[in-house]
């Protein structure tokens, strides 16, 4: 394992590396990230290295997926730290384009995310998934990976991207990886860095509450009642605002019911002061 990882910043340099690999018959996996890496991100890199010969990690804080009132300007960035961590995880290449390289003057084409984008996050972050889908389509065209790995942490994002790959006949395979959590259950997230000490103590309740909700739903509890209970518990724990707590069909994200016999997912988003946390679990 090397103690450094090569970084490229232009599409043309990226293509030189990937062409060389392709010439040798190597398979390629892409792990798209926005940097400020934690062990959740690194678990995706390790998974990639089990499945393909070369792992490319993109680091790009994509402005088009942030609304004007969101945290783009304060989003944590630590490229030097990220490179060290990625060398330790045996990544083969970091793809870190500038905003100008990704969206040169005159860039105007985009993807309109499909039906899986309309609810949940889509209600609170209306343009978000169009931005995510467009940047991921560009990343897929730039890197031309055999596989791309995404975390279940962002379950709706994974669903929207699966829908895009299917609807647009993209030839890569998407792989979902389980959510890495801190020992107290809090899902690792770059945004956890925003939490104050007292907020950090409240934050694990989100996982505890949605896990209990998933168990109640699996045991046939009335959905509306048990969701209302979960919201009450979150407020009591100290969450300052709840955007949604929902039980959805795990494949389509349409409203789910235990009677359907289909896999279900609990998804939630709520606020601790100025920090918005999302999490989800299987029923
Ligand atoms: P981000 O940098 O937050 O855009 O995340 C980049 C990728 O890492 C996405 O596919 C996320 O779903 C995934 N990811 C983020 N947090 C975790 C986590 N705690 N466990 C597993 N994957 C994660």
CA pair distance 253, 266, nearest whole angstrom: 10
Q: Are residues 196 and 172 in the same domain?
A: no
Range(s) of the domain holding residue 126: 6-177
Q: Are residues 48 and 95 in the same domain?
A: yes
Phi then psi dihedrals of residue 122, to 5 deg: -60, -30
Residue of 66, 139, 151 with the most ligand 1 atoms within 8 Å of its CB, for mutation: 151
Atom of ligand 1 nearest to the CA of 154: 12
8 A C-beta contact, residue 164 and residue 137: yes
**Residue 95: pLDDT above 70?**
yes
CA pair distance 202, 186, nearest whole angstrom: 10
pLDDT in tens, 223-268: 999 999 999 999 999 999 999 999 999 999 999 877 778 999 999 9
> Among 177, 203, 220, which residue terminates a domain?
177
Q: Are residues 108 and 166 in the same domain?
A: yes
Q: Check residue 201 and report its DSSP letter.
A: H
231 CB under 6 A from ligand 1? no
Atom of ligand 1 nearest to the CA of 190: 3
**Residue 34: pLDDT above 70?**
yes
Atom of ligand 1 nearest to the CA of 149: 10
Q: What is the pLDDT of residue 79?
A: 97
Q: What is the pLDDT of residue 258?
A: 76
pLDDT in tens, 176-226: 999 999 999 999 999 999 999 999 999 999 999 999 999 999 999 999 999
8 A C-beta contact, residue 218 and residue 211: no
Name which residue sits closest to atom 10 of ligand 1, judged by CA.
150
Distance (Å) from CA 153 to ligand 1 centroid: 6
Q: Are residues 156 and 230 in the same domain?
A: no
**Residue 87: pLDDT above 80?**
yes
Name which residue sits closest to atom 7 of ligand 1, judged by CA.
33
CA pair distance 271, 237, nearest whole angstrom: 12
Q: What is the pLDDT of residue 152?
A: 98
CA pair distance 70, 89, nearest whole angstrom: 31
163 CB under 6 A from ligand 1? no
pTM of the model: 0.97
Count of C-beta atoms within a 10 Å radius of residue 274 = 12
Distance (Å) from CA 226 to ligand 1 centroid: 28
Q: Are residues 213 and 104 in the same domain?
A: no
Burial 185-213 (b: 16+ CB within 10 A, else e): ebbbbbebebbeeebbebbbbbbebbebb
What average pLDDT does the segment 43-66 reach?
Answer: 98
44 CB under 6 A from ligand 1? yes
Q: What is the pLDDT of residue 261?
A: 85
- How many domains are contained in the chain? 2
Q: What is the pLDDT of residue 80?
A: 97
The mean pLDDT value of the chain amounts to 96
> Among 115, 142, 177, which residue terminates a domain?
177
Q: Looking at the domain assignment, is residue 25 inside a domain?
A: yes
Q: Are residues 141 and 51 in the same domain?
A: yes
Q: Are residues 72 and 172 in the same domain?
A: yes
Percent of the chain with pLDDT over 90: 96
Q: What is the pLDDT of residue 259?
A: 75
151 CB under 6 A from ligand 1? yes
> Among 151, 177, 203, which residue terminates a domain?
177
Q: What is the pLDDT of residue 232?
A: 98
Strand ranges inside 25-177, DSSP E: 28-33, 54-59, 93-95, 147-151, 173-177
Q: Are residues 125 and 160 in the same domain?
A: yes
Q: Are residues 194 and 54 in the same domain?
A: no
Q: Which of 15-19, 103-107, 216-220, 266-270 has the lowest mean pLDDT?
A: 216-220
3-state percent helix, strand, coil for the chain, nearest multiple of 5 = 45, 20, 35
Q: Looking at the domain assignment, is residue 183 inside a domain?
A: no
Q: What is the pLDDT of residue 1?
A: 66
């Amino acid at each position: 394992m090397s103690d450094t990882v090569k970084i490229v910043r232009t599409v043309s340099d990226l293509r030189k590396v990937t062409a060389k690999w392709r010439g040798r018959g190597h398979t390629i996996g892409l792990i798209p990230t926005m940097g400020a890496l934690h062990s959740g991100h690194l678990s995706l890199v390790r998974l990639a290295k089990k499945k393909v010969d070369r792992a490319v990690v993109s680091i790009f804080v994509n402005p088009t997926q942030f609304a004007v009132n969101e945290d783009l300007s304060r989003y944590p960035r630590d490229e030097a730290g990220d490179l060290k961590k990625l060398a330790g995880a045996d990544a083969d290449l970091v793809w870190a384009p500038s905003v100008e390289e990704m969206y040169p003057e005159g860039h105007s084409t985009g993807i309109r995310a499909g039906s899986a984008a309309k609810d949940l996050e889509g209600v609170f972050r209306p343009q978000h998934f169009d931005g995510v889908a467009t940047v991921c389509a560009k990343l897929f065209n730039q890197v031309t990976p055999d596989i791309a790995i995404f975390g279940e942490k962002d379950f709706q994002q994974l669903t929207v991207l699966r829908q895009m790959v299917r609807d647009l006949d993209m030839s890569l395979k998407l792989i979902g990886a389980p959510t890495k959590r801190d020992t107290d259950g809090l899902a690792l997230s770059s945004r956890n860095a925003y939490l104050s000490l007292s907020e950090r103590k409240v934050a694990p309740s989100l996982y505890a509450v949605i896990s209990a909700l998933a168990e109640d739903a699996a045991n046939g509890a009335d959905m509306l009642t048990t969701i209302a209970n979960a919201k009450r518990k979150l407020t009591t724990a100290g969450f300052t605002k709840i955007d949604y707590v929902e039980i959805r069909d795990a494949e389509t994200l349409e409203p789910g019911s235990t009677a359907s016999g289909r896999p279900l997912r609990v998804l939630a988003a709520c606020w601790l002061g100025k920090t918005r946390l999302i999490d989800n679990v299987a029923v």
